[in-house]
Structure 1
């Protein structure tokens, strides 16, 4: 495989949201970038992604924040409910935007992938190319990545190859890797006949060892997700839609309606794994880990993809000092992952008494101090990137709580 000479060369292993954001940020910083994706296309597995003000500000740095805000559904007032439909707490969109400097938005992952890929030079992304790290490199030598077409030398390798990262295993062979989080998830993105998205109130419903979320998308479809405490590997490959009927079919409207609209092939199921023991660093030699490869976390805070976007923008700012990247990212992502595990324990609580106490406490706190749940995102959603952003004041829909750094 021939290689161009000249500008510093970054090889990104993995063409997901984190890898492509890193590629765009590095490209805009003057790097020559090559993205290697083992799948046959960049089309992600069909699901939506929620982007919080922190990751939207990160996307502002590469000039993409306003476009994404325009494409996405700004998540409206909603809250947490019980399976019978009783509200435990209510969310306030305006309060969130005011506190954290912008909205929480929702869009299909493919929309974000497409916009990121469009900002890269022609030929920068190569699909159907499995890659393996053969040498992490060092101060006096480049890193090396092998592909079926030959070997690539790189001044920087960005490992964005997911939770089961092969690059991570090469860098840190003694690390135990990801562990099962104790629950599985289902996701669907579908049109629901008779259900107008404008009449759908975003909600997350907490039961005993089970949760369900329903959210409208801007394109008229509905994004729904569910989770349940269950042993690993318990998939029902013939009909996961029937599993949803058994587990959630008697819950409040519109949950039964959403389940009924889903075909078996629409339902994605994945056991949740996370990195319980933090890595000693996010870099070694000329290689950095990014996103799930570095700090996979349960989805209960909705921050997995958001943190990958943050990683990418911070990496571009510290691409000449990988130790600074680790110093900036490892403590923050470790703390957010810890919080996500704690939230999973709370909203997937299984005991009857514990669940009743949980619901009573959430309802009481929401009534006595309506902003208490919102404050749980302090230190997460109010993050600002190290580079100046470029969002319009109108798109930000609020003023950040602290100046951009």
Structure 2
């Protein structure tokens, strides 16, 4: 059996690795001519690190990432609302949260695959499902056939649009996120979320003395911001608690990316007999929980388990979506409502939100962490990939 995987990001590469570890040939097709040299950063939480362990690359990812010492939530003026120590995360789940460049994660996943497993500058233009195979046509005139087509091609997935006959069901979330890399060390610090009235700010330590940060602003306010304007952000966040102003001040202008946020309401079906979706192509969520890439890696591992050993594809793909649907729907809904709470501007409503965050019983906090950060999908072996 062979799989064609459309999309060379973390979802596609992790899926290729999972399928190959399970004995299926898999080739990734990526429309870009080469991977981004740096790009933005991302967080991987314990559930993702557990999934990467099953793929056999957790240690390699940890080597290019920076752990954070747990998490903290603070009010805009610095008042501590909630904290989870890093040692507690390690004791409960085996890993802390880690932060790394997206390009470094892609580099680790690519290095675990054979050199010919990824084909660059190859854009899918159409696919057709037959009785015994699926055929993909590419913009360069080439054509490939295989047992399975995997859409790992992101939030605006062409594979999804063809599979579900819909492409316009993105749901605007009502806010914009600015992502930046500050040339300033916060090594040893916790992952930080700072909550204001209608705005939020987050920061996570990166390797080599840098820090990944993001600033969330509602659409109405973001409309006043010139494209990726650091000067405007410096003025807006100047009275917020440390290290928020210092991080924005230490960020070069070309290290900031502006992204309007959208998600999709959870779906019940991500597949047909020979086509399946993973990652953002299947279940794009708001970034408020930092779980987008984490859930894509989980998808890869579970799909690999469902397809291990061959057998008929339709029941294997149905089992995959059945196993994953409830979990990712819960994450998507929670991330969406976290974004709604983050946009609250009424002082009374914000005080209520902050009070609930502070006084949430520890038992409920632990339950939330367990639901988010626990991942098990059986044992995946590590056969030779070369």
Q: Does residue 181 of structure 2 align to residue 189 of structure 1? A: yes
Whether contact under 8 Å (1:233, 1:271) holds in the other structure is no
For 1:318 and 1:229, the matched residues in 2 are separated by 41
TM-score, normalised by the number of residues in structure 1: 0.86
The residue that corresponds to 2:105 in the other structure is 112
Whether contact under 8 Å (1:57, 1:385) holds in the other structure is no
3-state SS, counterpart of residue 273 of structure 1:
strand
The residue that corresponds to 1:358 in the other structure is 353
Call closer, same or farther: CA 1:65–1:178 in 2, change over 3 Å: same
Deviations 1:255-309 (Å, cap 9, x if unpaired)? 1111112222111010111012x22311113111010000000111111100000
The residue that corresponds to 1:157 in the other structure is 149
Alignment partner of 1:12 out of 5, 12, 32:
5
Call closer, same or farther: CA 1:269–1:361 in 2, change over 3 Å: same
For 1:198 and 1:141, the matched residues in 2 are separated by 50
The residue that corresponds to 2:303 in the other structure is 315
Alignment partner of 2:376 out of 361, 378, 384:
384
The residue that corresponds to 2:282 in the other structure is 294
Q: What are the ranges of 5 or more consecutive residues in structure 2 without an aligned counterpart? A: 308-312
Whether contact under 8 Å (2:68, 2:98) holds in the other structure is yes
Alignment partner of 1:216 out of 188, 205, 213:
205
- Cα distance, 1:158 vs. partner? 0.9
For 2:364 and 2:89, the matched residues in 1 are separated by 12
Call closer, same or farther: CA 1:328–1:199 in 2, change over 3 Å: closer
For 1:206 and 1:161, the matched residues in 2 are separated by 32
For 1:206 and 1:21, the matched residues in 2 are separated by 33
Call closer, same or farther: CA 1:77–1:168 in 2, change over 3 Å: closer
Call closer, same or farther: CA 1:155–1:232 in 2, change over 3 Å: farther
For 2:167 and 2:225, the matched residues in 1 are separated by 32
Call closer, same or farther: CA 1:364–1:301 in 2, change over 3 Å: same
The residue that corresponds to 2:319 in the other structure is 324
For 1:205 and 1:236, the matched residues in 2 are separated by 20
The residue that corresponds to 1:394 in the other structure is none
The residue that corresponds to 1:345 in the other structure is 340
For 2:137 and 2:273, the matched residues in 1 are separated by 13
User: What pairs up with 1:136-147 in 2 under 5 angstroms?
Assistant: 137-147=129-139
Deviations 1:20-60 (Å, cap 9, x if unpaired)? 00011112222222211111212276222211221111111
User: What pairs up with 1:237-316 in 2 under 5 angstroms?
Assistant: 238-276=227-265, 278-316=266-304
- Cα distance, 1:328 vs. partner? 1.1
For 1:235 and 1:148, the matched residues in 2 are separated by 42
- Cα distance, 1:310 vs. partner? 0.5
Cα-Cα RMSD: 2.2
- Cα distance, 1:207 vs. partner? 0.3
Q: What are the ranges of 5 or more consecutive residues in structure 1 without an aligned counterpart? A: 1-7, 391-405
For 1:186 and 1:218, the matched residues in 2 are separated by 20
Whether contact under 8 Å (1:133, 1:144) holds in the other structure is yes
Q: Does residue 126 of structure 2 align to residue 133 of structure 1? A: yes
For 1:24 and 1:30, the matched residues in 2 are separated by 10
